[in-house]
Structure 1
């Protein structure tokens, strides 16, 4: 692509005024003047992309109207530009003036700068040598104070010497620290990818007492420290043991101080309840008296409630209502008997009386 529209036109003008232009026209059997070629190229440059000089989609009739020449002259100019490599035909058009506008497509040209051939020059550098693979200096810049500057063992000793395994533990880790590590792994993200022994070692090295701190308390303190520092917990932890050790050693894991209030007591563990205070004989007597007083009050309230329920019963037994009921029942029986005798008696005035 071109560098600018003016630069492309200037380069084309220099080439058109050179003898190379006449030689190309003779080889291609094209008859066109320099002025006509530059006028047609100017119209094409106006329709090209300003930044790249590409996508010149303009018809020959439009160029001929603006320049004032024949359409066949535009065709000759395009042939010269293609042969001189000042333009590249990206897509061939189709259709003519008699073809409907829907079926006509103009040719698409890209205006490109032409690289001028330069005379070959002899190279100034005849012989050159590359530096060695280890650098210009054969001495290592690493001094003895660097950890990687220690002398390595010979290859023979490395091959003959067996690989040393880490020493085995003579005793097992305390059960309390193992339980604390297991609880912390269960509620903390990313620690389940390591051996539980690495978590135990991190807790032991930082001084976390399993009798004082629980897994939930350790997790809460880590979260509080993370929020205070403005950091986040990583999604993936490559070395959980070392990562946990680096987070735990920032904090103080000393046992919490006991409260200094009179008559109070301190909690042995954060998650364990406080131990009850020691009572004296006088305190026990006062407590027993208060308990007996409460029992009497509750018994009296229960008795009052029982009496109230009995008085509010609608069908409660009573002497007077029972006689009334019995009398009423006897009277109803007599009425029923008399009525039955009257029905059984013969009809007549005396009987009716």
Structure 2
């Protein structure tokens, strides 16, 4: 899999017939033949930087691949591949946990190529490394530059997401939440989904379980295969039951329901509501406005005590293999 990922960084123009043939083989997925061509060419010119670069992208072992990348850099790889070589080395340092090397490699790239093809990626890499090295101001400076250079674009939103995560690490929850509330509605899935995950996670940290479940349900509807859903479900299990004073509940007339879904489309809410009727409890759909956007919330049951509602919720979660929440109504 690694060779296929690395191949994506190659361009289509090459400096001689031999190079063109090798790249053509790689693009066709004929990797064994490409390796044979590289090996044959390498015997006469072992220190050729470009051939070493080819060996790096064809090598399946991560450490060996990095060694070839490093050797290619030292042997003066062809200029058209130099950016790719340095970017891939920065990624290796990140995977290896060498944050100082990530930062220095990314900064060196940014200084050499002011308009490089990987400028935005390198800005994010350097900012992430600085943040983990507790150099917050350096990280923010890079991210603000990234945002300004990519306003309204994917990398600009990604920079804002990184700022939110930094705020979250510093427990500046209000700042982080304000950023993520805006990002959760952008058109880019790899920004909107993490923003929803972080909103739910922030709410859990602040013990605001209703908000945590709300954002989880929005995430579940929009991004059913999003990474992190299982993590949120596990963390929901650490919350205790809401109010347990049965006498107070009876005096105030409070009723409890199990919130089983929050949807942006009413038809999706109706589908779930119809399915939930099989459990023999009353099913209702209510409107809810979140950040000026209407959502449809599905509730099951009307219980006189939170304990009864929690008992039903437990059975429902086992049956549906999902996380739900008891709410007072």
TM-score tier after normalising by the smaller chain length = under 0.3
TM-score, reference length from structure 2: 0.21
TM-score, normalised relative to structure 1: 0.20
* Structure (1 or 2) with the greater strand fraction: 2
Relative to its length, the structure with more helix (as a share) is 2
